[in-house]
A and B are shown apart, each in its own frame.
Chain A
Amino acid sequence: MNWLTNLVRPKFQQLVRTRDVPDNLWTKCPACGHMIFHKELDKNARLCSHCGHHMRLPVERRLAMLFDNGEFERIELPKVPLDPLKFRDEKRYTDRLKDAQSKTGEKDAIIVAHGRMGGINTVVAAFNFAFMGGSMGPAVGEGLVAAAELAVLQEAPLIVIPASGGARMQEGILSLMQMPRTTIAVDKVKEKGLPYFVLLTDPTTGGVSASFAMLGDVTLAEPGAVIGFAGARVIETTIRETLPEGFQRAEYLLDHGMVDMVVPRHEVRDTLIRLIDLLMNPRQSAIVLPLPAPGRPDGAPEVPPPPGPGVQPPPPAEAAGPEPTSGG
């Protein structure tokens, strides 16, 4: 029955996906080895309660954490030709694509959404690492072009959140062409005098890092995120160089002048809102605050962010600016 399948199926898939969890009630922190109960991990936006290690965050959750009240509207991804290369390795690309689609319930590895952040209309394009490693092919490129065009149309800032191993091999040269295409896209936003922010999350490598991801007006990175062009293994094996401590981690990039700041997950939203406000409202702050803290669903108690070196949460008043908050 059609109406039933259409209506119930997504919910059912959701159910199936959550049912996977019991096999895996405890998650071992890859950084400190601490065992964390999955509910606790989810409540804490997938930060290790023991050492503060940032584990990968599902993309929907990330969007909910960014927007006011966790509310946002997604836009349909533009259509792209299916499997233009007729690529097959040990498996057909079309099959891999279908698998990824049924596993994630998404069409491709990017979500484009818009909504309010601090009351200011904002466009966000976020990569879905669960979809073929967040790899960038024409669909992702088109998503970024659409996001940029939407930002220009709405005169909104653009935030892009990569989480990607790089270009999608199965779409060959057309994936490589997304490097110039996405560069043009984000330049459109900049040309309109709108700010373009990048939040680098784990991992951001290859063709994704070497295009739009490194062209932000302001670039944030999550603690510990792997960010770089060449894979560490490639460097080790082909060049036989020993890799320095913390190589290609967010903090390493900060020290080498490649990002503006390393921001713990729970401070990302406030930091972005403050930056948007500073750049979009140079004469007077227009942030609409206070807002309920998003991303901590089910009335879960707030877990304080783990103390990180050199990172201090801003006092609440700072985000609002010196001016009294107003409706616009």
Chain B
Amino acid sequence: MQFLEFEKPIAELEGKIEELRHLHDGNGVKVRDGDEAAGEIDLADDIARLREKVQKQLKATYAKLTPWQKTQVARHPLRPHGLDVIHGLVEDFTPLAGDRAFAEDRAIVGGLGRFNGRTVMVMAHEKGRDTDTRLTHNFGMAKPEGYRKAIRLMRLAERFGVPVITLVDTAGAYPGVEAEERGQAEAIARAIETCLDIRVPLVTAVIGEGGSGGAIALAAANRVLMFEHAIYSVISPEGCAGILWRSGEAAQQAAEALRLTAQDLLKLGVIDAVVPEPLGGAHRTPDEAIANLGLAIEENLKPLLDREAGVLRAERRDKFLAMGRVAA
């Protein structure tokens, strides 16, 4: 387990539990629930008590995470990533590659597969897990070819009447010379345009970081879901702090001011549903988090399946047009 700064009390408790378990095992006794062998009760009880304390502490901490803490959780290195979710929820996943113009951009992975038995086109930002995979996937920061691949896959899905699921987890579009040279802005604009145009259901889940233009490029969807501790913002708190406070150290304040939490975004009408994370965040029990997400996607996708193609498109566009308007 990797602990975040604000999880220190929890880390200490977990450390104690480890110690006791060690002691226990060192005595040649296995820890078993309900084990009443003499001399073991104390330790087992202690461990159980500490575990309860951890649960309580987790519950208390995670019930009132600040926006800045949520930012840390959303970026947690052990948080389930795009490919984890795809492998957890999509059977027969068949990756498809390339934009047919320049390159294959692995910052966005995508392909066909079956979600609850139905064919879907699934696409996700993938940040990578270790040095090698992070480099392969460019830390989940896509270049124009990544967005152009996404456009190609959305159009392919549309041709076969296959719904599209996108999973957003990116710090943002890649800020680099070649990306600019090949039209990063145009690629993002076209991806947004395509999301809004396709005549098949489009469901998006922001699973970690929803970083600005790089996120909305895949997220102009019929239904936009967000993990409980994910973030979604026009700019990173650090970037915002640097510009408006002229100091990166104000990131905490910027995170609050930006209203980037799932709870705030639901209130603002920008997302449609919040997907609960297991106690202590998705990184603690990724399988449980992914299962929750599967249920939420199914619940949101199902009503869209019988909708007429033109209606799907019109509803999606009307939803975005109505966003943030003065109540009539």
A→B interface (CB under 8 Å): 79-81, 84-85, 87-90, 138, 142, 145, 167, 169-177, 179-181, 183-184, 187, 206-207, 209-215, 227-231, 234-235, 238-239, 241, 243-244, 247-248, 256-258
Contacting residues of chain B (208-233) with chain A, CB-CB under 8 angstroms: 212-213, 215-217, 220, 232-233
B→A interface (CB under 8 Å): 173, 175-177, 179-186, 188-190, 192-193, 195-197, 212-213, 215-217, 220, 232-235, 240, 243-245, 250, 253-254, 257-260, 265, 268, 270, 317, 320-321, 323-326
Q: A79 — which chain B residues lie within 8 A by C-beta?
A: 326
Query: Of A187, A229, A243, which is within 8 A of B173 by CB?
Result: A229
Question: B177, A241: Cβ atoms under 8 Å?
Answer: yes
Q: B181 — which chain A residues lie within 8 A by C-beta?
A: 256
Given A179-B213, A214-B185: A243 in contact with B177 (beta carbons within 8 A): yes
- Return A163 CB to nearest CB of chain B, in Å: 15
- Return A188 CB to nearest CB of chain B, in Å: 9
Query: Of A85, A145, A229, A248, which is within 8 A of B321 by CB?
Result: A145
Q: A230 — which chain B residues lie within 8 A by C-beta?
A: 173, 175-176, 179-180, 184
Contact residues of B: prevailing secondary structure: helix
CA distance A172 to B253 in the complex (A): 13
Having A171-B234, A177-B216, one finds 14 other A-B pairs with CB under 8 Å, namely A81-B325, A85-B257, A89-B257, A167-B235, A172-B260, A173-B270, A174-B324, A183-B220, A184-B317, A211-B189, A215-B190, A228-B180, A235-B176, A238-B175
Question: B326, A80: Cβ atoms under 8 Å?
Answer: yes
CA distance A186 to B261 in the complex (A): 30
- Return B34 CB to nearest CB of chain A, in Å: 50
CA distance A215 to B191 in the complex (A): 11
Question: B183, A258: Cβ atoms under 8 Å?
Answer: yes
Q: B212 — which chain A residues lie within 8 A by C-beta?
A: 167, 176, 207
CA distance A79 to B193 in the complex (A): 25
Question: A184, B196: Cβ atoms under 8 Å?
Answer: yes
CA distance A145 to B317 in the complex (A): 12
Which of chain B's residues has its CB closest to A230's CB? B175
- Cross-chain pairs A/B with CB under 8 angstroms, 24 sampled: A89-B250, A89-B253, A89-B257, A90-B245, A142-B325, A145-B321, A169-B240, A172-B257, A173-B260, A174-B268, A175-B234, A179-B189, A179-B216, A181-B320, A183-B193, A184-B196, A207-B213, A210-B184, A210-B185, A215-B193, A229-B173, A229-B180, A230-B184, A243-B177
Q: B185 — which chain A residues lie within 8 A by C-beta?
A: 209-210, 213-214, 227-229
Question: B265, A173: Cβ atoms under 8 Å?
Answer: yes
- Return A186 CB to nearest CB of chain B, in Å: 9
- Return A118 CB to nearest CB of chain B, in Å: 29
Q: A215 — which chain B residues lie within 8 A by C-beta?
A: 189-190, 193
Question: B260, A89: Cβ atoms under 8 Å?
Answer: no
